[in-house]
Amino acid sequence: MKTPLKKQPVASPLEELLTFDNRFVHELPGDPETENRPRQVARSCYSRVLPRPAAQPELVACAHEVAELIGLPKEACNTKEFVQVFAGNRLLPGMDPYAACYGGHQFGSWAGQLGDGRAINLGEVVNQRGERWTLQLKGAGPTPYSRQADGLAVLRSSVREFLCSEAMHHLGVPTTRALSLALTGEKVVRDMFYDGNRKEEPGAVVCRVAPSFIRFGNFEIFAARQNTDLLRQLADYTIRTDFPHLGEPSTAAYRAWFEEVCRRTAEMIVHWMRVGFVHGVMNTDNMSVLGLTIDYGPYGWLENYDPDWTPNTTDASGRRYRFGNQPQIAWWNLAQLANAVHPLIEDTEFLQRALDSYGEVYRNGWQKMMSSKLGFFSFDPDTDQELVEELEKILKLTETDMTLFFRNLARVKEDGTATDEELIAPLMEAYYHPEELTDEVRERTCRWLRSYLSRARREGVPDVERRRKMDAANPRYVLRNYLAQLAIDKAEVGDYSLVKTLQDVLRRPYDEQSGREEFARKRPEWARHRAGCSMLSCSS
């Protein structure tokens, strides 16, 4: 049975500030069925669906920079209309809400149709600079792609998504953005670790913002269904809308597009590795064709340097999405996208060369990135590869905080008379158990430090310049897991102060911020095994 969408646009001062285009729903085929029930959706790129109204919406936080990006002044975030719109209670004229249809490989296996199960796109805003931004509510209720879920989100995961989206942007990592975080005034039942311990948690909605939310999985679903016509329509739309510099859609444009997706993906992963970010659930439906970090679920930052660490409890046994495996998984995901778009390109050798180019872009980017982290102006393969390999071994000899080690490495200097104790002193803050540093570990570390400083001197750059270069690549502040959890703890009892403080601190992650040293400290012992501070599940 078909039922009409009933929620009507409500006039608001915001409507004079926002101009909607909604090219996605205007140019691509949609679901003819309007009943909002879980089902397989065939021959459609999306289904129109309305957000579920929030009982008592309350704004927790807003990113004013993102508001201005879409054309809203800072003051607009403090209005009643703002929270009503971005909690899902009101539609502005021009909004045309929908959920997208896509599939994906999850943990290496084809999962079939997935889609926006708890995300609803409100529409596409075009700002005064002609930039297109899609506004998407996460946690605003069920869609035809929700399967057996309720389409809602809890405050716990929403705080993490809001803070991390913006933290990543200010770190210089390609990412989707977050405009707002609002409570719904309702409770949502969740089993955080899928162990039978269900409980009620505060419900929340995040408004996410990106030029596009198109994923690898949007193409995979039509390839799997052998719907080449719709696959081509989606590819043509994507090129015209998000890659117009490639020219009109054609076989040549499809090729250039796939090469660019490979390049952007490689560049994104290099940034993840630079700051120690672990996505945790790199399924193909969580990979953006724009090379943006998307879907902040069970993510985490490396505390101690451990390339085998994953923050995802679901991935604990196989560790498919561990930190050190992210470059390989991105390549694997691109290979699945190559399979999906093969009917448009029909050249296996070309697709293989494009996949090979991912490896080349990643290697070159990684070398440049490591040079920056170490304060070098170029990467010398004859010496630096061995230097970095030895460093990675040293970091694993004892529990060493990755963020603090690289930040403090810029403070290490040697005038030819320094003892081992004086040389290693700036790094002691990075060790979780400095009392456990054996003589052998100290000696090996100091040998490496002297080799490193000798290499740095060959650059002919004063220590102050080396430090400036390193501080621009190695953040002082990252969204450590325990900090996010402390903010969640406070927010769940109605205190949003730490959410806002962290948001402000993370706006300047490379700066020394007087009076905020506590936010740069390594993980405390109490957080080592606490839920939310060490590992998380896909549940929200």
Kindly list the catalytic residues: 285
- For the stretch 22-64, pLDDT in tens is 999 999 999 999 999 999 999 999 999 999 999 999 999 999 9
Helices 497-505 and 155-171: crossing angle in degrees, nearest 10, is 20
- For the stretch 112-152, pLDDT in tens is 999 999 999 999 999 999 999 999 999 999 999 999 999 99
pLDDT above 50 (res 77): yes
- For the stretch 354-405, pLDDT in tens is 999 999 999 999 999 999 999 999 999 999 999 999 999 999 999 999 999 9
Place of tokens 């810029």: 410
pLDDT above 90 (res 487): yes
Q: From residue 521, how far is each of 206, 401, 435 by CA, in Å?
A: 28, 10, 18
More confident residue, 311 or 6: 311
| Percentage of the chain exceeding pLDDT 70 | 97
| Mean pLDDT, range 454-461, rounded to an integer | 91
Total-model pTM: 0.96
- For the stretch 180-205, pLDDT in tens is 999 999 999 998 777 778 899 999 99
Contacts of 50 (CB under 8 A, 6+ apart): 5, 6, 7, 36, 91, 97, 120, 141
Maximum Cα interatomic distance, the chain, rounded to a whole number of Å: 83
Helices (H), 379-517: 381-395, 402-409, 420-424, 439-457, 463-471, 481-491, 497-505
Q: Is residue 423 a contact partner of residue 412, using CB atoms and an 8 Å limit?
A: yes
Question: Is residue 347 exposed (0-12), middle (13-18) or buried (19+ Cβ within 10 Å)?
Answer: middle
- Rounded to a whole number of angstroms, the distance between the first and last alpha carbons of the chain is 31
> How far, in whole angstroms, is CA 450 from its chain's centroid?
36
Q: Is residue 449 a contact partner of residue 412, using CB atoms and an 8 Å limit?
A: yes
Mean pLDDT of the chain: 95
- For the stretch 311-321, pLDDT in tens is 999 999 999 99
- For the stretch 277-298, pLDDT in tens is 999 999 999 999 999 999 999 9
- For the stretch 499-522, pLDDT in tens is 999 999 999 999 999 999 999 999
